[in-house]
């Protein structure tokens, strides 16, 4: 599937692709700005696929046959490769965070990405390790109208910006409209937890994925498994509320799996669960709780 673009979530959009439940396919997405070619120099004006875009340049929507409201869609990411270049921009907007930090000037970085070496190097000569992922993977809200791609949404996903969702991960998303109308893109070659300046190493991506309707999900909400851990998420303008949501889901998941009461589960998790700030850049706090697959080991019968 080529980069058929949308810059909003909208239940009225016609599907760009229709796939079967359990089908594996490939999508090619431009970077979040939809650049049609590499900028000539950092910050240079560059033609875009969607001039005047209202949000991220995403691929979709993808309709999944048989997916109905109330279902949960599993999006399994088999591989993610980059376009070979990327960009980062700081100080481009007068955000509250920039004001608090005194970031008054714009800075632009242009990166060469080497997927084989798993590194990216910018024009200043600095190199970082890469671990590509998609910043936006989301199902479409049922409410009529055009929904911004900027904030992540409880029950939909979207602009999660969780750097742990690398190849080998499965993201579980509730379905709200027939076919789910999945939209995805916003490739990041590298990002720290938080995406603190508002952009990561933004890049185009080619993603090999499978979408499946899950009959009995571990949770009815947004959650994930990665090669190393399980994740639950909270999204809210209030950091406490986002934290509560991520922890509540993790307690529910582990308590059901281990057949324990919530208080005992909470005590166990305090020894091994990590809370991470997913992102601070998208009008809504993102928090994810992470539990390594091998973190809890029962060495003798209870």
User: What is the pLDDT, as a whole number, of residue 3?
Assistant: 55
Taking the mean position of all CA atoms in its chain, how far away is CA 47? Answer: 25
Q: Who wins on pLDDT, 168 or 284?
A: 168
Q: What mean pLDDT, rounded, does the chain reach?
A: 95
Over residues 80-92, the mean pLDDT reads 95
pLDDT digits (tens, 9 = 90+) for 54-79: 899 999 999 999 999 999 999 999 99
pLDDT digits (tens, 9 = 90+) for 187-201: 999 999 999 999 999
* Confidence grade of residue 127 (pLDDT, cut at 50, 70, 90): very high
- Contact in structure between 51 and 33 (CB atoms under 8 Å): no
Cα dist from 166 to 56, 66, 130, 133, 185, whole Å: 20, 27, 10, 5, 13
Q: CA 189, CA 201: separation in Å to the nearest integer?
A: 5
Q: CA 60, CA 207: separation in Å to the nearest integer?
A: 13
Rg from Cα positions in the chain: 19
* Confidence grade of residue 98 (pLDDT, cut at 50, 70, 90): confident
User: What is the pLDDT, as a whole number, of residue 301?
Assistant: 65
Q: Which two tokens stand for residue 9?
A: 């979530």
pLDDT digits (tens, 9 = 90+) for 236-270: 999 999 999 999 999 999 999 999 999 999 999 99
pLDDT digits (tens, 9 = 90+) for 259-302: 999 999 999 999 999 999 999 888 789 999 999 999 998 887 66
Q: CA 30, CA 49: separation in Å to the nearest integer?
A: 8
* Res. 85: pLDDT tops 60: yes
Task: Give the H or E element holding residue 86.
Answer: strand 85-90
The structural domains of the chain, ordered by start, are 5-214 (2.60.120.580), 228-292 (3.10.28.20)
Task: Give the H or E element holding residue 255.
Answer: helix 239-258
Q: CA 120, CA 128: separation in Å to the nearest integer?
A: 5
**Neighbour tally for 108: CB within 10 Å:** 18
> Is-above-0.75 flag for pTM?
yes
Over residues 178-194, the mean pLDDT reads 97
Tokens 């994810």 -> residue: 288
Q: CA 62, CA 287: separation in Å to the nearest integer?
A: 27
User: What is the pLDDT, as a whole number, of residue 52?
Assistant: 79
CA dihedral angle for residue 151, residue 249, residue 132, residue 184, rounded to 10 degrees? -50
**Neighbour tally for 87: CB within 10 Å:** 24
* Confidence grade of residue 173 (pLDDT, cut at 50, 70, 90): very high
Q: CA 86, CA 120: separation in Å to the nearest integer?
A: 8
């Amino acid at each position: 599937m080529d980069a058929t673009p949308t810059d909003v979530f909208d239940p009225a959009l016609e599907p760009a692709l229709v796939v079967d439940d359990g089908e594996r396919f490939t999508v090619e997405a431009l970077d979040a700005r939809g650049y049609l070619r590499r900028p000539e120099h950092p910050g240079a004006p560059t033609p875009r696929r969607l001039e005047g875009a209202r949000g991220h340049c995403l691929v979709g929507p993808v309709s999944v046959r048989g997916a109905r409201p109330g279902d949960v869609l599993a999006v399994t990411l088999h591989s993610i490769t980059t376009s070979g270049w990327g960009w980062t921009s700081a100080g481009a907007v007068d955000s509250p965070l920039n004001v608090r930090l005194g970031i008054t000037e714009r800075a632009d970085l242009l990166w060469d990405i080497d997927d084989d070496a798993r590194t990216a190097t910018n024009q200043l000569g600095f190199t970082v390790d890469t671990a590509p992922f998609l910043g936006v993977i989301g199902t479409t809200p049922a409410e009529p109208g055009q929904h911004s791609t900027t904030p992540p949404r409880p029950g939909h996903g979207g602009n999660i910006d969780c750097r742990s969702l690398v190849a080998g991960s499965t993201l579980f998303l509730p379905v709200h409209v027939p076919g789910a109308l999945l939209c995805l893109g916003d490739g990041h070659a590298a990002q720290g937890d938080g995406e603190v300046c508002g952009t990561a190493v933004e890049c185009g991506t080619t993603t090999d994925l499978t979408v499946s309707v899950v009959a009995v999900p571990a949770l009815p909400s947004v959650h994930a498994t990665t090669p190393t851990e399980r994740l639950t998420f909270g999204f809210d303008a209030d950091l406490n509320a986002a934290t509560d949501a991520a922890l509540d889901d993790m307690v529910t998941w582990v308590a059901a799996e281990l057949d324990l009461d919530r208080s005992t589960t909470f005590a166990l998790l305090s020894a091994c669960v990590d809370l991470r700030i997913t992102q601070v850049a998208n009008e809504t706090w993102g928090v994810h709780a992470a539990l390594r697959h091998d973190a809890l080991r029962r060495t003798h019968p209870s």
